[in-house]
Structure 1
């Protein structure tokens, strides 16, 4: 299914932009907005996905890449996309840093080697993983808001259907509310490493992953992801 997904995306998106590490210009990025959910550690992203049961998206990026900046400033700041990324996915951005290391399929690699292991030739390149950390598909290049949102909904739908059929049928997919019962160690890891997981307070939006000490039905109805210690 996911091979079909990749092929269809590449066929129907004629406006895709793809660049290597070339500085074409500057884009203004609302860091305060995207820093509330974006992760910059490969291992942590996969572990958070495993703990929460969420799929993971890793954006292989470059600080000098114009289309990476464009994606972050135009797509990641979109409020609807942020709702989906904060509730249904784990989103990570990583750079080809020789000084950072990751472990994947039993091998320890620095991030530059990780780029090579995944065959990344230019940035941005997106890899999609299931909650077990298994790579499902890749998407090279920039995609606009509406297409990226459709891709997120398609991965959430997760049925035996092509991306083209998914779009043609205009299938309605919504964000689910979830209650997670996790160990004390898992909760501690999320609070330390997932910027969107927080101890409950009145200032959090409903798309934050909130940790509660006691059962609270009204907050379960308000927030999309509620976490209790089991």
Structure 2
């Protein structure tokens, strides 16, 4: 779940972004503001978000000037009606640059780019104590906490995934590719098939390129994934 902020003086664009965020099960809107001054105050009060959707041309303080004064900005997706600020924006290391009006598909691509960048960023140093393996997923209208150590496997179902534990299943509106990126910090999860992510902790045996899991579950190991899978096994 990525927390989001919107800073844009265009009310219609703010409403559009709010609607797109509401449609995205992996996004949570924290604040929607109408000018850069309010945005600067919000961040200086100590608030933090994962993604900032930021307009450039705003009165009093432009989006680019706001970025220049923030000491620790989040991932930034520019939303503007002008194409000629792109060079300046990317010099400030924004994640993506959306030119208004943009469709939901293009919005989703920008969010996926944020997820990809976060997945490949160096992980912070681990604190003392056990690692947190819980994630919240959106199931229908509820946010459900899942301990991914308990997950046996994840199966792709078109635009959804089926997250399977020994006790229950959760149908979640996301793609397998997006969830794989989100689980990149969970070393026990590996892609073993175009339609399956597998938690190797729960493998009891492997026979005929099929992983037999605890509780009588079976996951196929796709031909193109077999070399990498078997090389990664600790075996005698």
* TM over 0.5, shorter chain: no
TM-score normalised by the chain length of structure 2:
0.29
Task: Using structure 1 for the length normalisation, give the TM-score.
Answer: 0.30
**Highest relative contact order (Cα 8 Å, sep 6+), 1 or 2?**
1
More helix by share: 1
